[in-house]
Amino acid sequence: MNAPPIKHIVIVGGGTAGWMAAAALAKVLGRDYAIRLVESEEIGTVGVGEATMTHLKLFNNLLGIDEIDFIRKTQSTFKLGIQFRGWARPGDAYIHGFGAIGHDLGLLPFHQYWLKARQQGWAQDIGAYSLNTAAAVQNKFMAPATDVPPNSPLASIAYAYHFDAALYARYLRDYAERHGVRRTEGKIAQVLLRPDDGFVEAVALESGERIEGELFIDCSGFRGLLIEQALHTGYVEFTQWLPCDRAVAVASENAGPPMPYTRATARPAGWQWRIPLQHRTGNGYVYSSAHVSDDEAVATLLKNLDGRALGEPRPLRFVTGMRKRCWNRNVVALGLASGFMEPLESTSIHLVQTGIARLLQLFPRKDFAPVLSERFNAQTAFEVERVRDFLILHYHATERADTAFWTQCRTMSIPDSLADNIRLFRDSGRFFRNAEEIFAQLSWVQVMLGQRIVPQGYHPMVDQVPDADLRRFVTGVGQVIANCVEAMPTQAAFIERYCAAP
């Protein structure tokens, strides 16, 4: 016999995570479910989180959001990838571009042919064969065009957004309320547990109002009001590998046209982000408090802005890691309440998205069959640990020895799962993506190469292609990419024409 369905869902928190959950659940579950969201303007939101991954487009599509309307109202720009400056060595720069690199031939990915061409000494930098990277360095952008041949790289260019996170949350709030979500403004003073099984029964507001529910989604940010403060779930730290624990953020005036990529510049005790929006630029220095003082971090950030600072720098503190269980009893934690790694590859909002998708796949009935939460937790842990490894790679695969921070990162021991992947890549440029893993082979390939992990060889099947054909193939791909970039408008011109904010 089926247990009765859940009908009352309470979302705690109205940051990006809370409103993403509210919008998606309202859209997918419909009006048979009563969805309430509680947030406190006095507490506010974390106020950062402006760079996204390509999958956000799918999330917006699920909601039926009009892309142009969304871009205008959130002051978005387009993101083709992330530029890493000074990570392997001072003065280095490489781009982790989204989307394809070159053109796969038979069983092998393009980069295997490129590795042989590079060994022979005539290949260009790998970025010259990536439409995203080649376009990004020239500040160009064009959304997939319907009037280009389907086999042109321009027909399937992959992109994400930089946006104003507060405006995005506001946008989703309007959407969710239109779809029946009931919002309550107020501060939760107490979380009430059922005495028999410790499930959350209700949250009590300072106003005295009591909000009952069957399923609670904890989007209360770092404090983890339900998952940690009420249920004491516990936290697994990643601090031994991801030592940054603070950030200072400030917006600045735009200096020049917006670049279609996030910039992550290595600094003495961490790194600095630069995220261009239509109306301003987001900046922040993510750092290890064991290696630099807060005052020094602020000074470094302000010294390295391209435009004039708008307001005072805002400090943030965090501990890298994740909850031992993101689904505990009848509470599912999403967003910062579930954990936080690093903004380095802009994965947090994406993890909110995958968490929502996973919850919908494993949506419980009133009996909360344990097998559902067990599977949810196992999949989440796997996904997070693979992201963790990818982030560690950026810090660890460095030749930098100029500060104690970088020496620590370079010499630290790393998880076996990451060490295995580095060994395999160093041998012959190979990498295999596991199921549930966010970052695809090409992401790893670009970051490994960018961090100066040089494969000693290449796949033996590459030798089946005669040298003359190899040269024609690799050179031809480079030419196609160069022609595409030539035909693209600048990002500024594209935005001006199609989606400038009013």
Per the DSSP assignment, residues forming a β-bridge with 248 are 285, 315
Does 97 show up as a binding residue in the annotation?
Answer: no
Contacting residue, 17, 135, 227, 462, with ligand FAD by CB under 6 A = 17
Rounded-to-integer distance, Cα 160 and Cα 52, Å: 6
| Nearer of residues 16 and 421 to ligand FAD, judged by Cβ | 16
Interaction mask 50-79, ligand FAD, x per CB under 6 A: xxx---------------------------
Binders of ligand FAD in range 408-467 (CB under 6 A):
none
Contacting residue, 6, 9, 10, 14, with ligand FAD by CB under 6 A = 14
Amino acid at 432: F
Count of residues near ligand FAD by CB under 6 A: 39
Which listed range, 48-56, 76-84, 436-444, 461-469, lies at the site for ligand FAD (CB under 6 A)?
A: 48-56
Kindly state the smallest distance separating residue 316's Cβ from ligand FAD, in Å. 5
State yes or no: is 366 an active-site residue: no
187 lies in the site for ligand FAD, by CB under 6 A: yes
Kindly state the smallest distance separating residue 29's Cβ from ligand FAD, in Å. 20
348 lies in the site for ligand FAD, by CB under 6 A: yes
Which listed range, 1-9, 235-243, 298-306, 334-342, lies at the site for ligand FAD (CB under 6 A)?
A: 334-342
| Nearer of residues 11 and 88 to ligand FAD, judged by Cβ | 11
49 lies in the site for ligand FAD, by CB under 6 A: yes
| Nearer of residues 341 and 445 to ligand FAD, judged by Cβ | 341
Strands (E), 129-245: 160-162, 182-185, 188-193, 200-205, 210-212, 215-218, 235-237
Q: What is the DSSP letter of 37?
A: E
Rounded-to-integer distance, Cα 15 and Cα 394, Å: 28
Which listed range, 117-125, 253-261, 340-348, 415-423, lies at the site for ligand FAD (CB under 6 A)?
A: 340-348
Does 349 show up as a binding residue in the annotation?
Answer: yes
Exposure b/e, 213-238, CB count within 10 A at least 16 = b:
bbbbbbbbbbebbbbbebbebeeeeb
Rounded-to-integer distance, Cα 215 and Cα 202, Å: 10
48 lies in the site for ligand FAD, by CB under 6 A: yes
- Provide the CA 188 distance to its chain's centre, in angstroms: 29
Closest CA to 430 of 35, 201, 153, 111: 111
191 lies in the site for ligand FAD, by CB under 6 A: no
Closest CA to 316 of 331, 290, 332, 297: 297
| Nearer of residues 159 and 318 to ligand FAD, judged by Cβ | 318
Closest CA to 301 of 259, 265, 335, 355: 265
Return the structure tokens found at 269: 């005790």
Does 487 show up as a binding residue in the annotation?
Answer: no
Binders of ligand FAD in range 95-114 (CB under 6 A):
none
Closest CA to 354 of 13, 62, 39, 15: 62
What number of H helices and E strands is found in the chain?
A: 14, 21
Return the structure tokens found at 110: 């393009």
Interaction mask 232-251, ligand FAD, x per CB under 6 A: ---------------x-x--
Kindly state the smallest distance separating residue 19's Cβ from ligand FAD, in Å. 8
| Nearer of residues 43 and 63 to ligand FAD, judged by Cβ | 43
Contacting residue, 220, 288, 320, 353, with ligand FAD by CB under 6 A = 220
Kindly state the smallest distance separating residue 478's Cβ from ligand FAD, in Å. 31
* Locus of tokens 């600045």: 252
| Nearer of residues 98 and 318 to ligand FAD, judged by Cβ | 318
Q: What is the dihedral of CA 70, 72, 75, 81, to 10 degrees?
A: 60
Kindly state the smallest distance separating residue 64's Cβ from ligand FAD, in Å. 22
Interaction mask 280-319, ligand FAD, x per CB under 6 A: ----x-x-----------------------------x-x-
Give the phi and the psi of residue 177 in degrees, each rounded to 5: -65, -35
| Angle between the N-to-C axes of helices 348-361 and 56-63, in degrees from 0 to 180, rounded to the nearest 10 | 50
Q: What is the dihedral of CA 316, 319, 321, 322, to 10 degrees?
A: -70
Q: Catalytic: which of 73, 79, 116, 140? A: 79
15 lies in the site for ligand FAD, by CB under 6 A: yes
Kindly state the smallest distance separating residue 259's Cβ from ligand FAD, in Å. 15
Rg of the chain over all Cα atoms, to the nearest angstrom: 23
8 lies in the site for ligand FAD, by CB under 6 A: no
346 lies in the site for ligand FAD, by CB under 6 A: yes
Return the structure tokens found at 60: 């917006």
Closest CA to 398 of 455, 342, 454, 451: 451
**For 221-256, what is the HEC assignment?**
HHHCHHHHHHCCCCEEECCCCCCCCEEEEEEECCCC
Kindly state the smallest distance separating residue 223's Cβ from ligand FAD, in Å. 6
Q: What is the DSSP letter of 345?
A: T
Binding residues: 14-17, 79, 336, 345, 349
Binding residues for FAD: 14-17, 336, 349
Active site residues: 79
Q: Which residues bind ligand FAD (CB under 6 A)?
A: 13-18, 38-40, 43-46, 48-52, 165, 187-188, 219-221, 223, 225, 247, 249, 284, 286, 316, 318, 335-337, 343, 346, 348-349
